[in-house]
Amino acid sequence: MQTLIQEKINVNAIYRGFKDDDESMGRDWTHKRIEPLSFKRANKKIFEIAQIRKSYAARKGDTLHVHFVVRTTEDRFFEMVYDSGKITWILLYEFDDELLFN
């Protein structure tokens, strides 16, 4: 099942200006420039991101949207998007794990 959310969220993320294999933090994201670590919803609930399952960029006019499908430490799955034009994050969907893996 997929639940539409479309809610602005606050995100803690790493932004990289150059390729960097940050082994000290247990990360190997040399090919990515944005890595979300956790997010906070309007209801004050904080979700720690355990894994980024997928990420891709899409142009919308002059704006770049970077989409992430993430698994939280509570084994919940969400799609979130970073809007580079508005410099905001939006939580788009919550997915059941069966939808992603079957």
Share above pLDDT 90 across residues of the chain, in percent, rounded to a whole number: 69
pLDDT at 7 over 80: yes
Closest CA to 77 of 56, 50, 58, 55: 50
Q: Which tens digit of pLDDT belongs to each residue from 33-76?
A: 899 999 999 999 999 999 999 999 999 999 999 999 999 999 99
Over residues 16-28, the mean pLDDT reads 62
Q: Which tens digit of pLDDT belongs to each residue from 69-102?
A: 999 999 999 999 999 999 999 999 999 876 665 5
Domain-wise residue ranges, the chain: 2-17+32-101
What's this model's pTM, rounded to 2 decimal places? 0.83
Q: What is the pLDDT of residue 101?
A: 59
Q: Where are the beta strands (DSSP E) in the chain?
A: 2-15, 34-40, 46-60, 63-72, 77-83, 88-95
